[in-house]
Each structure stands twice: as structure tokens, then as C-alpha cells.
Chains A and B, each alone.
Chain A
Amino acid sequence: MALLEIIDLAVEFKSRAGTVHAVDGVNLYLEAGKVLGIAGESGCGKTTTMLSIPRLLPRNADIIGGKILFNTENLLLKSEEDMEKIRWRQISVIFQGAMNALNPVKTIGSQIGEAIFHHEPRVSRADVSRRTSELLDMVGIASARSSSYPHEFSGGMRQRVMIAMALACHPQLVIADEPVTALDVMVQAQILNLLKSLCAQLGLSMILISHDLSVIAETCQRAAIMYAGKLVEQGRVEQLFNQPAHPYTQRLLRAFPNIYAAKKFLVGIPGYPPNLVNPPLGCRFFERCHVRLEQCKTSEPQTITVEPDHLAACHLLRETKQ
């Protein structure tokens, strides 16, 4: 059974330029103990979709429709008070770019301690300090370093601290938003291996947001591709990477070099995603699609099952009966 199920989620932002339809009709699920990857270009709605789960969206955002079932309960119907109990203790987030936002005047240890204390005000000081050491140990930082300040840590170490904080209250689900972007290749490999081993060791479920399909191929069991606020394709990574069904996924994959394949020059996707204040009527990828049909301009493609557990939304595809 799914740990998390997102049904028909729609999110809007009120902005000066008008209403931004940032997420529109997203359906997605995640099984317990698995890692789900979300990819797509900047602005397609990855962060907005995933921050809807713990309801941590910015103030000008509105979740205007859908359900988010976590352990079968709809989180969108919960009171703010109940959500506070779920955040960090059941669902935690490693925010995009947060490793650069650690408080510069507080030690690493005290910031982790505060995170524990904030969510579990009744724990004793001794417990906080013991758990801080354990957490640092778990992410591969010597606990003696807990009295260091953020500027004494490299980027990779600060990201480890963010991971430690996300694990502070033993969550079931961790949402990691671009956790390795802007890190060096070697540090990137260290962090991804750490996340993978923590998932296995603690039985965690994880959502990994990354614009880098290679990172997703290596880390996740299932993946979903978003384009301009829509989910265009999802499936097991083997299906998605070996038999991509949606033209956008196909093009996206051709934009990544593979040192073990023949040296074909990378192909980009000319053009830009549509403006989400006035999204187009039909398929949102229409303008940039290399195989578009006449009908794609005006009629929106439905999501269909191309093979078991592999879904895509494109007029060129035909449903296979299961």
C-alpha cells in the first residue's frame, strides 16, 4: 500500500503579474521504503508540489484542489495544529539551498539541538545532546565537531548537517529538494550514498527532487517528470530511462551525456516553457514538441497507462490494456 498518494493536486500563487497556476492536476504515489525522484526544468513546479505535502508553501500560495493521502489520511483536511505534529516527526524536508542558510552565529550542535527541542519540547538536555551526537555520527561527522560554526564547514559537511536535522525526529518520509546541486562531483557521490544508505538502514521513504536525471537514475526506484505544472510521465526508472514514452522525457534524456554510450552530440530543446499565468489550452509542451499533432494545440492529453506502473500524458500514446 502507498505511504503517500497525491490526487489531482492543484496549487496557485497570487502574484502581481496575476495568478500563477504552478501545479495543475498532479497524481503521484510513493510506496513505503522507496525513493521517488522528481525532475523537470526550473519553474516546472517540483518544489511547489512537494512542499504541499507538509503544507509548507509560501503565504501567497493556495492549494485549490486535490487530496494528499499520507498513511491514508488526507493532510489537506488537517488543522494547522495537527500538521505541526506531523511536520518533522513524520515528514521532514531538506530545503533547496538551505545548507547556505544555516545560522552563522550558532554552533552546528546547538542548531541541531534546537531542531529536536522545537519539535519535542519535553526532552531533557542530556537527551538532546546525546541525540545530537548520534545524528552527527549517522551522517559521518565526528561529534567533536558539534561545537563548530557553519563557516568552518565545507558545503558537503553543511549538507550533512541539514540531513542530520531532517532526521532529528525520526520521520517516515524525507523530502530532499536538490540536495546535491552545486556540490562537487565527489561530494555529490558521498551525499547520495549517504542518503541511500540511510534510507536502507532506517527504512525511510524519500522524495528526491533534482533537475539532474543522472542523479535520479542512480538513486531512485521510481521517477516522475514534470513540465510546466503538469506531471507528464512517471514510472519505474528502468521504464522511464529505457523506454521514455513522452516526447519531453525523450528530449530531456538526449540532453545528458553518457560517457559509456556513443558520443552523440547533446540535443537541446529549443524554446521555453509557457507562462504559467496564462497556460495554453492544449498540451503544455506543444510549442516545443518535435512530434506534435494538430489536436495537441487545443486538447489536453489525458494521462494513460502505457505499461503497468508506467504512465504518460501524450496524444500520441495508446492505452495498453492490463
Chain B
Amino acid sequence: MNSPLVRVENLQVMFAMRGGLVLPGKAPKMIHALDGISFDIQRGEILAMVGESGCGKTTLARAILRLITPSAGKIFFNQRDITLLKGTSLRNLRRHMQMIFQDPYESLDPRQSIYELLEEPLLIHYPDITQNDREVQVFKALEASGLHPAREISARYPHHLSGGQRQRVAIAAAMILEPEFVVTDEPVSMLDVSIRAEILKLMLDLRDLKNLTYLFITHDLSLAWMISDRIIVLYLGKIVEIGSTQDVIHHALHPYTRALVSVIPLPQPGIQKQQIILEGDTPSPLDIPAGCRFLLRCWKWRQLNCPAVCKEKEPILQAYGCESHKVACHFAEGA
């Protein structure tokens, strides 16, 4: 088997809680945003990461791209340990990994013209190329992202573009350095559906053209189903299930995944589906319960008359059925 492009080993990210009262002699309260995450991303694949708000999706992306330094664990890119990279080597790494954010309004500097915005990464990473070559590259990236005519568009500022066009600019900016790996954090959730499909198509075309690898973050499971090869389900900073897209959506093993899948709204009226509604919101990563962290919302646990093991022992992520489908539940079983 080929070596993975990205490998994450036992990754942990903690944040000190802001604003909290810190008593002398007491450590500040820690938020365990990510707690012991391990997985691989194969070259050329689209790996989707799903889970509720606050479960740690963006934090994981930021850690992999080394926008933050993890508290523990290791990250490999192309088999190279990048966990503690700094300075020039970190800057050089950036050329190979890029991020596209949810909100093109926030990620594009409003004072920069589209041209300046796309030129900047070239100036940083390739200070020696001529102005002429830069211009060619900028126009090429805009055209490849479906922004025509490139010359006219490049003279504009972000607020003179529609939401869909802005997201295309963000894609062009991410692609201009020809990265190998792209993380997209809710890239289409701010866009109208009619435009959403176009942007997804663009991302897929670029993958085929350049053999890109994507980590696709979304809270929308039907989108994950549509676009990905594999899916990771995150709950409170831990992977609860990982497997092929088909397995995770249609043969979900974890009670949490099964609930998430059961509430996906369908564009088809009159389908009688058995919804599993979880009560309440995700608990806070400030006080993670002992044992299984999903316990308090787990419908299965109650169905099984509250077995003690779930309270006492944290389930580990293990293969179930086939090697590629893993789940962290003491009572995993398919629907």
C-alpha cells in the first residue's frame, strides 16, 4: 500500500479557557478540543470530516496545517514529521498545504484587489519570478476557477463580487501555489444551492486535474456523502467512527452516527424514516465525562438498560466487520 500523504498520530489540542477566574496556585481550566486523534489521508482521496458545532473540526484542520501547534501527538506530511516545524521550513511547507475557509467575506482582505491578493503568495514563495510570469499565473488561476474575464475580475475588490465569485477567488488563491493538500472548512455552507453545486464541481475538477488531496469539513452529511471517499465522524474531540462513505452513511455502527444519518433532511416528501433525535446539545469540552463521552445522549445505552461498562471504560476506536470501518463503542452494531 502507498504511504499516506497525511498521517495524524494521537493528536491532542488543548486551549486554556479565556476569561475564567484563575486562582493563585491553580492551573487555568483547559478545553480539550481534540483528544487522541489518529488517522491517515491517502494521496488523491477526499476525506470528509463531520460532526456538530464545537466538536473540533476546525481545530483539527488548523493543527494539521500547523496554524496551531498541538499539545501532544504527531503529524506527518509526506512521511516527514511536521509537528514542531518552525520558521522557514514551516513557510516552505505552506506551499504544499492550503486552506479554504467557510466565509469568503472574512478570509479575503477587503483592501486588496483580487490581483494583489493572488499575487501575494507568489511574491512570498517565488520572489524571483518576473512580474510578467506572475501575471500569467494569476490570470491562469482565475480562469481555472471559472472567473472570466480574468483581467477584468482581477482589478476588482472583494466587495464587488458575489458570494459565489468570492468563494471562487478563495479557491484560486488556495490553488495558485499548486498545493498537494487542501483543507476546505465548510466551503459552500454560505452559498446558495444553485451556486454550491458549481463550486463543488470546480473542486472535483481541480482534484482530477492536479491529483489533489482534500480534507473536506462539513456539518452536512448529505454533502459528505455526495463528495467524499471516506468519512470521519467526530464527537467532542474524538473520532467515534471512520470508514468508507458508503459504510458510514448506509451501515453506520456508532449510535451517534446512526442518529446523525437519521435526521438528514431529504428532498423527497412522504418518506417515513425512523428519526433518532438526540436531546440537548453537545456537552462542553470543558467537562468531558469519564467513560464514553457520548453516554449522556446515547439512546442505545438506555435501550440496553444502562450497562456499567459505558460509564467506566472509554471505548477505543476498533475495526468492526472490515479493516477499513472503525468505531468507538462498546456495543457497536449495524442498523
B222–A259 contact, CB under 8 A? yes
| Residues of chain B in range 254-285 having any CB-CB distance to chain A below 8 Å | 259-261, 263-271, 275, 277-279, 281
A185 interface residue per 8 A CB criterion = yes
B196 interface residue per 8 A CB criterion = yes
With both chains docked as a complex, state the minimum distance between the C-beta of B61 and any C-beta of chain A, in angstroms: 18
A211 interface residue per 8 A CB criterion = yes
With both chains docked as a complex, state the minimum distance between the C-beta of A145 and any C-beta of chain B, in angstroms: 12
**A185-B219, A211-B193 as given contacts; A241 in contact with B268, CB under 8 Å:** yes
A289 interface residue per 8 A CB criterion = no
A170 interface residue per 8 A CB criterion = no
> Among A24-32, A54-62, A267-275, which stretch is in contact with chain B?
A267-275
Q: Pick the contact of B271 from A251, A260, A272 — CB < 8 Å?
A: A260
**A185-B219, A259-B225, A268-B195 as given contacts; A217 in contact with B162, CB under 8 Å:** no
**A255-B197, A268-B197 as given contacts; A211 in contact with B192, CB under 8 Å:** yes
B177 interface residue per 8 A CB criterion = no
With both chains docked as a complex, state the minimum distance between the C-beta of B234 and any C-beta of chain A, in angstroms: 13
B267–A186 contact, CB under 8 A? no
- Give the distance in Å from the alpha carbon of A193 to the alpha carbon of B275 in the complex: 10
A255–B196 contact, CB under 8 A? yes
- Give the distance in Å from the alpha carbon of A154 to the alpha carbon of B199 in the complex: 31
B53 interface residue per 8 A CB criterion = yes
A64 interface residue per 8 A CB criterion = no
Closest-by-CB residue of B relative to A213 is B267
Render A197-235 as a binary contact track against B, CB cut-off 8 A, 1 for contact: 000000000000001111101100000000000000000
Q: Pick the contact of B259 from A156, A186, A188, A212 — CB < 8 Å?
A: A186
B162–A185 contact, CB under 8 A? no
Interface centre among B196, B265, B266, B268 (most CB of A within 10 A): B265
Q: Which residues of B contact A252 (CB under 8 A)?
A: 193-194
B302 interface residue per 8 A CB criterion = no
B269–A263 contact, CB under 8 A? no
B263–A253 contact, CB under 8 A? no
- Give the distance in Å from the alpha carbon of A254 to the alpha carbon of B221 in the complex: 17
- Give the distance in Å from the alpha carbon of A272 to the alpha carbon of B263 in the complex: 31
Interface size range on B against A = 35 or more
Q: Which residues of A contact B220 (CB under 8 A)?
A: 185
Q: Which residues of B contact A267 (CB under 8 A)?
A: 197
B332 interface residue per 8 A CB criterion = no
A257 interface residue per 8 A CB criterion = yes
A258–B277 contact, CB under 8 A? no
Q: Which residues of A contact B268 (CB under 8 A)?
A: 217, 241, 258, 260-261
A187–B194 contact, CB under 8 A? no
A176 interface residue per 8 A CB criterion = no
B249 interface residue per 8 A CB criterion = yes
A266–B263 contact, CB under 8 A? no
Q: Which residues of A contact B219 (CB under 8 A)?
A: 184-185
A42 interface residue per 8 A CB criterion = yes
A255–B194 contact, CB under 8 A? yes
Closest-by-CB residue of B relative to A248 is B194
Closest-by-CB residue of B relative to A267 is B197
A186–B275 contact, CB under 8 A? no
B53–A184 contact, CB under 8 A? yes
Render B186-200 as a binary contact track against A, CB cut-off 8 A, 1 for contact: 000000111111111
Q: Which residues of B contact A270 (CB under 8 A)?
A: 198
With both chains docked as a complex, state the minimum distance between the C-beta of A291 and any C-beta of chain B, in angstroms: 16
With both chains docked as a complex, state the minimum distance between the C-beta of A178 and any C-beta of chain B, in angstroms: 13
Q: Which residues of A contact B270 (CB under 8 A)?
A: 237-238
- Give the distance in Å from the alpha carbon of A265 to the alpha carbon of B46 in the complex: 15
Q: Which residues of A contact B222 (CB under 8 A)?
A: 214, 256-259
A250 interface residue per 8 A CB criterion = no
Q: Which residues of A contact B204 (CB under 8 A)?
A: 265
Q: Which residues of B contact A268 (CB under 8 A)?
A: 193-199, 201
- Given pairs A238-B269, A257-B225, A265-B197, 18 additional interface contacts (CB within 8 A): A41-B193, A188-B263, A188-B265, A189-B263, A190-B279, A214-B265, A217-B265, A217-B266, A237-B270, A253-B267, A256-B193, A259-B222, A259-B250, A260-B268, A263-B226, A265-B201, A265-B226, A268-B194
A-B contact pairs, 10 of them (CB 8 A): A184-B219, A185-B221, A185-B263, A186-B278, A217-B268, A218-B265, A218-B269, A241-B268, A265-B204, A269-B195
A residues sitting closer than 8 Å to B (CB atoms) are 41-42, 154-157, 184-190, 192-193, 211-215, 217-218, 237-238, 241-242, 251-261, 263, 265-270, 272
Closest 4 CB pairs of A and B: A268-B197, A214-B265, A189-B263, A268-B198
